[in-house]
Structure 1
Protein backbone atom coordinates (compact mmCIF):
# COMPACT_ATOMS: atom_id res chain seq x y z
CA UNK A 1 0.00 0.00 0.00
CA UNK A 2 1.37 3.35 -0.97
CA UNK A 3 1.49 6.20 1.53
CA UNK A 4 -0.23 4.28 4.31
CA UNK A 5 1.16 4.35 7.83
CA UNK A 6 0.08 2.68 11.05
CA UNK A 7 1.24 4.02 14.41
CA UNK A 8 1.03 1.58 17.31
CA UNK A 9 1.13 2.04 21.04
CA UNK A 10 3.48 -0.46 22.65
CA UNK A 11 2.24 -1.58 26.08
CA UNK A 12 -1.17 -3.17 25.97
CA UNK A 13 -1.27 -3.03 22.18
CA UNK A 14 1.73 -4.84 20.75
CA UNK A 15 3.13 -6.38 23.92
CA UNK A 16 1.78 -7.53 27.25
CA UNK A 17 4.12 -5.86 29.73
CA UNK A 18 1.93 -5.61 32.82
CA UNK A 19 3.86 -8.20 34.86
CA UNK A 20 7.16 -6.33 34.56
CA UNK A 21 5.57 -3.02 35.46
CA UNK A 22 3.72 -4.46 38.44
CA UNK A 23 6.70 -6.43 39.73
CA UNK A 24 9.05 -3.45 39.37
CA UNK A 25 6.79 -1.00 41.18
CA UNK A 26 5.86 -3.51 43.86
CA UNK A 27 9.58 -4.10 44.47
CA UNK A 28 10.03 -0.37 45.08
CA UNK A 29 6.99 -0.21 47.35
CA UNK A 30 8.01 -3.25 49.40
CA UNK A 31 11.62 -2.04 49.72
CA UNK A 32 10.21 1.14 51.24
CA UNK A 33 7.79 -0.67 53.59
CA UNK A 34 4.69 0.28 51.59
CA UNK A 35 1.76 -1.90 50.57
CA UNK A 36 2.10 -3.53 47.16
CA UNK A 37 -0.74 -3.97 44.66
CA UNK A 38 -2.14 -6.86 42.67
CA UNK A 39 -1.20 -7.12 39.02
CA UNK A 40 -4.85 -6.38 38.21
CA UNK A 41 -4.61 -3.06 40.09
CA UNK A 42 -1.91 -1.96 37.68
CA UNK A 43 -4.32 -2.02 34.76
CA UNK A 44 -5.98 0.99 36.43
CA UNK A 45 -2.60 2.71 36.85
CA UNK A 46 -1.61 2.47 33.17
CA UNK A 47 -2.08 4.80 30.25
CA UNK A 48 -0.30 8.00 31.20
CA UNK A 49 3.33 6.93 31.47
CA UNK A 50 5.43 5.43 34.23
CA UNK A 51 5.63 8.60 36.32
CA UNK A 52 1.84 8.68 36.54
CA UNK A 53 1.80 4.94 37.35
CA UNK A 54 4.19 5.67 40.23
CA UNK A 55 1.90 8.45 41.47
CA UNK A 56 -1.15 6.16 41.42
CA UNK A 57 0.68 3.24 43.08
CA UNK A 58 2.04 5.32 45.94
CA UNK A 59 0.01 5.80 49.12
CA UNK A 60 -1.73 9.18 49.19
CA UNK A 61 0.67 10.31 51.91
CA UNK A 62 3.57 10.00 49.45
CA UNK A 63 2.10 11.72 46.40
CA UNK A 64 3.80 15.10 46.79
CA UNK A 65 5.98 16.17 43.85
CA UNK A 66 9.29 15.45 45.59
CA UNK A 67 8.27 11.94 46.68
CA UNK A 68 6.84 11.07 43.28
CA UNK A 69 10.06 12.23 41.62
CA UNK A 70 12.16 10.17 44.05
CA UNK A 71 10.07 7.01 43.64
CA UNK A 72 9.91 7.50 39.87
CA UNK A 73 13.72 7.36 39.76
CA UNK A 74 13.66 4.22 41.91
CA UNK A 75 11.02 2.69 39.65
CA UNK A 76 13.16 3.30 36.55
CA UNK A 77 16.08 1.49 38.20
CA UNK A 78 13.84 -1.41 39.21
CA UNK A 79 12.14 -1.50 35.82
CA UNK A 80 15.49 -1.64 34.03
CA UNK A 81 16.04 -4.95 35.86
CA UNK A 82 12.56 -6.43 35.44
CA UNK A 83 10.98 -4.78 32.37
CA UNK A 84 10.89 -8.03 30.44
CA UNK A 85 9.46 -10.17 33.23
CA UNK A 86 6.82 -12.32 31.49
CA UNK A 87 6.76 -9.78 28.62
CA UNK A 88 5.52 -11.14 25.32
CA UNK A 89 3.81 -9.91 22.17
CA UNK A 90 0.09 -10.56 22.16
CA UNK A 91 -1.26 -13.49 20.16
CA UNK A 92 -1.56 -12.61 16.49
CA UNK A 93 0.78 -9.60 16.62
CA UNK A 94 3.49 -11.20 14.49
CA UNK A 95 0.97 -12.26 11.87
CA UNK A 96 -0.57 -8.78 11.77
CA UNK A 97 2.82 -7.07 11.48
CA UNK A 98 3.88 -9.58 8.80
CA UNK A 99 0.76 -8.71 6.82
CA UNK A 100 1.36 -4.97 7.09
CA UNK A 101 5.03 -5.38 6.14
CA UNK A 102 4.10 -7.55 3.15
CA UNK A 103 1.59 -4.90 2.02
CA UNK A 104 4.24 -2.18 2.27
CA UNK A 105 2.48 -0.35 5.10
CA UNK A 106 4.85 1.95 6.99
CA UNK A 107 4.85 1.34 10.74
CA UNK A 108 5.90 3.31 13.80
CA UNK A 109 5.53 3.07 17.58
CA UNK A 110 4.45 5.96 19.79
CA UNK A 111 4.30 5.18 23.50
CA UNK A 112 4.34 6.92 26.86
CA UNK A 113 6.97 4.40 28.01
CA UNK A 114 10.49 5.69 28.53
CA UNK A 115 11.91 5.93 25.01
CA UNK A 116 15.10 4.01 25.80
CA UNK A 117 13.11 1.11 27.28
CA UNK A 118 10.64 1.19 24.37
CA UNK A 119 13.49 0.85 21.89
CA UNK A 120 15.00 -2.06 23.84
CA UNK A 121 11.65 -3.88 23.91
CA UNK A 122 10.98 -3.20 20.22
CA UNK A 123 14.42 -4.45 19.25
CA UNK A 124 14.26 -7.54 21.44
CA UNK A 125 10.70 -8.63 20.63
CA UNK A 126 9.84 -6.91 17.33
CA UNK A 127 13.29 -6.40 15.82
CA UNK A 128 12.44 -8.21 12.62
CA UNK A 129 10.11 -5.34 11.64
CA UNK A 130 11.21 -2.04 10.16
CA UNK A 131 9.57 0.63 12.32
CA UNK A 132 10.25 4.08 10.88
CA UNK A 133 10.32 5.64 14.34
CA UNK A 134 9.94 4.58 17.92
CA UNK A 135 8.92 7.56 20.00
CA UNK A 136 8.57 7.42 23.76
CA UNK A 137 8.85 9.59 26.82
CA UNK A 138 12.17 11.39 26.59
CA UNK A 139 11.46 13.83 29.40
CA UNK A 140 11.16 16.69 26.90
CA UNK A 141 8.22 16.01 24.59
CA UNK A 142 4.74 15.97 26.04
CA UNK A 143 3.31 12.45 26.36
CA UNK A 144 0.53 11.36 24.05
CA UNK A 145 -3.01 11.47 25.43
Structure 2
Protein backbone atom coordinates (compact mmCIF):
# COMPACT_ATOMS: atom_id res chain seq x y z
CA UNK A 1 0.00 0.00 0.00
CA UNK A 2 2.16 2.89 -1.24
CA UNK A 3 2.45 6.12 0.73
CA UNK A 4 -0.43 5.57 3.13
CA UNK A 5 -0.80 8.79 5.11
CA UNK A 6 -4.32 8.50 6.57
CA UNK A 7 -7.05 5.96 7.26
CA UNK A 8 -10.74 6.90 7.36
CA UNK A 9 -13.20 4.64 9.16
CA UNK A 10 -16.94 4.29 8.97
CA UNK A 11 -18.54 3.92 12.41
CA UNK A 12 -21.66 1.72 12.54
CA UNK A 13 -20.93 -1.80 11.38
CA UNK A 14 -17.21 -1.09 11.03
CA UNK A 15 -15.85 0.15 14.35
CA UNK A 16 -18.90 -0.40 16.55
CA UNK A 17 -21.97 -2.61 16.76
CA UNK A 18 -24.74 -0.13 17.51
CA UNK A 19 -27.70 -2.17 16.30
CA UNK A 20 -29.25 -2.84 19.72
CA UNK A 21 -29.30 0.82 20.72
CA UNK A 22 -30.71 1.80 17.33
CA UNK A 23 -33.37 -0.91 17.58
CA UNK A 24 -34.35 0.22 21.07
CA UNK A 25 -34.68 3.85 20.01
CA UNK A 26 -36.65 2.94 16.88
CA UNK A 27 -38.99 0.78 18.93
CA UNK A 28 -39.65 3.58 21.42
CA UNK A 29 -40.60 5.79 18.49
CA UNK A 30 -42.77 3.10 16.93
CA UNK A 31 -44.48 2.47 20.25
CA UNK A 32 -45.31 6.16 20.54
CA UNK A 33 -46.80 5.95 17.05
CA UNK A 34 -48.74 2.79 18.00
CA UNK A 35 -46.87 0.77 15.39
CA UNK A 36 -45.44 -2.72 15.73
CA UNK A 37 -41.95 -3.33 17.08
CA UNK A 38 -39.06 -4.39 14.83
CA UNK A 39 -36.44 -6.99 15.65
CA UNK A 40 -32.65 -6.84 15.51
CA UNK A 41 -32.32 -8.34 12.03
CA UNK A 42 -34.85 -5.86 10.67
CA UNK A 43 -33.05 -2.86 12.06
CA UNK A 44 -29.70 -4.13 10.79
CA UNK A 45 -31.15 -4.13 7.28
CA UNK A 46 -32.13 -0.47 7.74
CA UNK A 47 -28.86 0.93 9.17
CA UNK A 48 -26.25 2.77 7.19
CA UNK A 49 -27.72 5.72 5.34
CA UNK A 50 -28.28 8.10 8.23
CA UNK A 51 -31.03 8.66 10.78
CA UNK A 52 -33.65 10.03 8.35
CA UNK A 53 -33.39 6.96 6.14
CA UNK A 54 -33.46 4.60 9.13
CA UNK A 55 -36.65 6.21 10.43
CA UNK A 56 -38.18 6.24 6.96
CA UNK A 57 -37.48 2.53 6.50
CA UNK A 58 -38.79 1.62 9.95
CA UNK A 59 -41.97 3.66 9.62
CA UNK A 60 -42.59 2.36 6.11
CA UNK A 61 -42.05 -1.26 7.17
CA UNK A 62 -44.55 -0.91 10.00
CA UNK A 63 -47.25 0.94 8.07
CA UNK A 64 -46.75 4.37 9.60
CA UNK A 65 -47.45 7.83 8.22
CA UNK A 66 -44.46 8.97 6.14
CA UNK A 67 -45.96 12.44 5.68
CA UNK A 68 -44.80 13.15 9.25
CA UNK A 69 -41.27 11.93 8.59
CA UNK A 70 -39.39 15.16 9.49
CA UNK A 71 -41.13 15.30 12.87
CA UNK A 72 -40.49 11.61 13.47
CA UNK A 73 -36.79 11.98 12.67
CA UNK A 74 -36.47 14.79 15.22
CA UNK A 75 -38.22 12.66 17.84
CA UNK A 76 -36.06 9.62 17.01
CA UNK A 77 -32.88 11.63 17.49
CA UNK A 78 -34.14 12.86 20.87
CA UNK A 79 -34.71 9.27 21.96
CA UNK A 80 -31.53 7.84 20.47
CA UNK A 81 -29.08 10.53 21.52
CA UNK A 82 -30.20 10.17 25.14
CA UNK A 83 -28.99 6.54 25.16
CA UNK A 84 -26.71 6.15 22.14
CA UNK A 85 -24.06 4.11 23.93
CA UNK A 86 -26.02 1.93 26.35
CA UNK A 87 -25.47 -1.35 24.47
CA UNK A 88 -23.10 -0.24 21.70
CA UNK A 89 -19.73 -2.02 21.69
CA UNK A 90 -16.54 -1.86 19.69
CA UNK A 91 -16.05 -4.89 17.47
CA UNK A 92 -13.28 -7.36 18.40
CA UNK A 93 -9.82 -6.09 17.51
CA UNK A 94 -10.86 -2.47 17.03
CA UNK A 95 -9.10 -0.99 20.07
CA UNK A 96 -5.90 -2.92 19.46
CA UNK A 97 -5.87 -1.98 15.79
CA UNK A 98 -6.46 1.72 16.42
CA UNK A 99 -3.73 1.70 19.07
CA UNK A 100 -1.31 0.04 16.67
CA UNK A 101 -2.09 2.51 13.90
CA UNK A 102 -1.52 5.42 16.27
CA UNK A 103 1.86 3.96 17.18
CA UNK A 104 2.67 4.06 13.48
CA UNK A 105 1.65 7.75 13.56
CA UNK A 106 -0.94 7.32 10.85
CA UNK A 107 -3.64 10.02 11.14
CA UNK A 108 -7.11 8.55 11.61
CA UNK A 109 -10.59 9.89 10.91
CA UNK A 110 -14.21 8.79 11.28
CA UNK A 111 -16.63 9.61 8.48
CA UNK A 112 -20.12 8.39 9.31
CA UNK A 113 -23.72 9.05 8.35
CA UNK A 114 -24.63 9.01 12.05
CA UNK A 115 -25.30 12.48 13.54
CA UNK A 116 -22.17 14.11 14.94
CA UNK A 117 -23.39 14.40 18.54
CA UNK A 118 -24.25 10.70 18.81
CA UNK A 119 -20.98 9.79 17.12
CA UNK A 120 -18.94 11.73 19.65
CA UNK A 121 -20.95 10.29 22.55
CA UNK A 122 -20.26 6.74 21.37
CA UNK A 123 -16.57 7.33 20.69
CA UNK A 124 -16.11 8.89 24.11
CA UNK A 125 -18.14 6.23 25.92
CA UNK A 126 -16.07 3.46 24.35
CA UNK A 127 -12.74 5.21 24.89
CA UNK A 128 -12.13 5.64 21.16
CA UNK A 129 -12.32 9.42 20.71
CA UNK A 130 -8.62 10.04 21.36
CA UNK A 131 -7.58 7.88 18.41
CA UNK A 132 -9.18 10.17 15.83
CA UNK A 133 -7.85 13.46 14.53
CA UNK A 134 -11.04 14.24 12.61
CA UNK A 135 -14.70 13.22 12.98
CA UNK A 136 -17.25 14.00 10.27
CA UNK A 137 -20.86 13.18 11.11
CA UNK A 138 -23.92 12.75 8.95
CA UNK A 139 -25.06 16.26 9.77
CA UNK A 140 -21.66 17.94 9.54
CA UNK A 141 -22.23 18.75 5.86
CA UNK A 142 -25.32 18.96 3.66
CA UNK A 143 -24.11 15.77 1.92
CA UNK A 144 -23.71 12.28 3.34
CA UNK A 145 -22.06 9.14 1.98
CA UNK A 146 -22.19 7.89 -0.78
CA UNK A 147 -21.46 11.49 -1.74
CA UNK A 148 -17.68 12.06 -1.59
CA UNK A 149 -17.96 15.45 0.17
CA UNK A 150 -17.62 14.07 3.75
CA UNK A 151 -14.45 12.19 2.78
CA UNK A 152 -13.06 15.24 1.02
CA UNK A 153 -13.79 17.29 4.14
CA UNK A 154 -11.94 14.82 6.36
CA UNK A 155 -8.96 14.72 4.01
CA UNK A 156 -8.80 18.50 3.86
CA UNK A 157 -8.71 18.72 7.64
CA UNK A 158 -6.05 16.00 7.77
CA UNK A 159 -4.01 17.66 5.04
CA UNK A 160 -3.81 14.40 3.09
CA UNK A 161 -4.32 13.81 -0.64
CA UNK A 162 -6.98 11.25 -1.67
CA UNK A 163 -4.45 8.88 -3.24
CA UNK A 164 -2.60 8.66 0.08
CA UNK A 165 -5.69 7.64 2.06
CA UNK A 166 -7.65 4.44 2.72
CA UNK A 167 -11.34 4.08 3.64
CA UNK A 168 -12.54 1.18 5.80
CA UNK A 169 -16.28 0.51 5.77
CA UNK A 170 -18.93 -2.19 5.78
CA UNK A 171 -21.42 -1.02 3.19
CA UNK A 172 -21.75 0.00 -0.44
CA UNK A 173 -22.02 3.70 0.38
CA UNK A 174 -18.60 3.60 2.04
CA UNK A 175 -16.95 2.13 -1.03
CA UNK A 176 -18.89 4.38 -3.42
CA UNK A 177 -17.96 7.49 -1.45
CA UNK A 178 -14.31 6.46 -1.34
CA UNK A 179 -14.16 5.72 -5.05
CA UNK A 180 -15.84 9.03 -5.88
CA UNK A 181 -13.31 10.81 -3.67
CA UNK A 182 -10.35 9.05 -5.27
CA UNK A 183 -9.61 7.03 -2.13
CA UNK A 184 -8.86 3.32 -1.90
CA UNK A 185 -11.40 1.24 0.00
CA UNK A 186 -11.41 -1.93 2.08
CA UNK A 187 -14.64 -3.49 3.34
CA UNK A 188 -15.19 -5.59 6.45
CA UNK A 189 -17.30 -8.71 6.03
CA UNK A 190 -19.20 -8.19 9.27
CA UNK A 191 -21.44 -5.18 9.93
CA UNK A 192 -24.59 -4.17 8.11
CA UNK A 193 -23.91 -4.53 4.40
CA UNK A 194 -27.03 -4.29 2.24
CA UNK A 195 -25.31 -6.10 -0.62
CA UNK A 196 -23.07 -9.18 -0.96
CA UNK A 197 -19.56 -8.18 0.06
CA UNK A 198 -18.08 -9.37 -3.22
CA UNK A 199 -20.27 -6.83 -5.03
CA UNK A 200 -19.18 -3.79 -3.01
CA UNK A 201 -16.22 -3.01 -5.24
CA UNK A 202 -13.70 -2.85 -2.42
CA UNK A 203 -10.02 -3.32 -3.12
CA UNK A 204 -9.86 -5.88 -0.31
CA UNK A 205 -12.19 -7.63 2.12
CA UNK A 206 -11.21 -8.22 5.75
CA UNK A 207 -13.04 -10.55 8.10
CA UNK A 208 -11.94 -8.91 11.34
CA UNK A 209 -10.48 -5.51 12.17
CA UNK A 210 -7.41 -7.27 13.53
CA UNK A 211 -6.40 -8.09 9.96
CA UNK A 212 -5.89 -4.43 9.07
CA UNK A 213 -2.76 -3.62 11.08
CA UNK A 214 -0.59 -6.43 9.64
CA UNK A 215 -1.65 -5.39 6.13
CA UNK A 216 -0.64 -1.79 6.77
CA UNK A 217 2.65 -2.80 8.41
CA UNK A 218 3.57 -5.31 5.69
CA UNK A 219 2.73 -2.95 2.86
CA UNK A 220 4.68 -0.14 4.48
CA UNK A 221 7.73 -2.40 4.67
CA UNK A 222 7.66 -3.28 0.96
2:81·2:117 contact (CA, 8 Å) conserved in 1? no
Displacement after TM superposition at 1:30 (Å): 0.8
Instruction: Work out the CA distance in 2 between the residues paired with 1:61 and 1:54.
Output: 10
The normalised TM-score by structure 2 is 0.60
Q: Any unmatched runs of 5+ in structure 1?
A: none
TM-score (norm 1): 0.90
Aligned residues between the structures: 142
Indicate conservation of the 8 Å contact 2:113/2:139, yes or no: no
Match of 2:96 in 1: 95
Structure 1 residue 51 displacement after superposition: 0.6
2:81 is aligned with 1:80: yes
Q: What secondary structure, in the 3-state scheme, does the structure 1 residue paired with 2:48 have?
A: coil
Post-superposition offset of 1:132? 1.5
Q: Once structures 1 and 2 are overlaid, which stretch shifts more, 118-127 or 3-12? A: 118-127
The structure showing larger relative contact order (alpha-carbon pairs under 8 Å, at least 6 residues apart) is 1
SS in 1 for 2:114: strand
What value does the CA root-mean-square deviation take over the aligned residues? 1.7
| Partner Cα separation in structure 1 for residue 81 and residue 48 of structure 2 | 19
Larger Cα-atom Rg: 2
> What's the counterpart of residue 10 of structure 1?
11
1:135 aligns with 2:145: no
Q: Distance in 2 between matches of 1:134 and 1:127?
A: 9
How far apart, in 2, do the equivalents of 1:53 and 1:138 lie?
14
- Show structure 2 runs of 5+ residues with no match: 147-222
Deviations 1:60-102 (A, max 9, x none): 45123xx111110110111022211211100100111011011
Contact 1:14 1:93 in 2 (8 A): yes
Q: Report the equivalent of 1:32.
A: 33
SS of residue paired to 1:10: coil
Kept after mapping to 1: 8 A contact 2:116/2:138: yes
